[in-house]
Amino acid sequence: MSRGDELRELANDLSRAAERARRLGLRTTAYLLSMALVEVREAGAATDAGDDDGAA
């Protein structure tokens, strides 16, 4: 599995976890998971673009 694939899988997991935290009323947890999701998506975009200096 490539790094890009792993990052996409992680983004999916984080998205599901953030949604579950929102439904459970865990606002701080949902916020933190959402921020992690942003970082992972940025790293994935950098990987897709071939930029090895991306966040991660």
Q: What is the pLDDT of residue 22?
A: 98
**Tokens 């975009």 identify what position?**
45
**Interhelix angle for 3-23 vs 27-48, to 10°?**
160
What stretches of the chain show up as alpha helix (H) in DSSP? 3-23, 27-48
Dump pLDDT digits (tens) for 9-52: 999 999 999 999 999 999 999 999 999 999 999 999 999 887 65
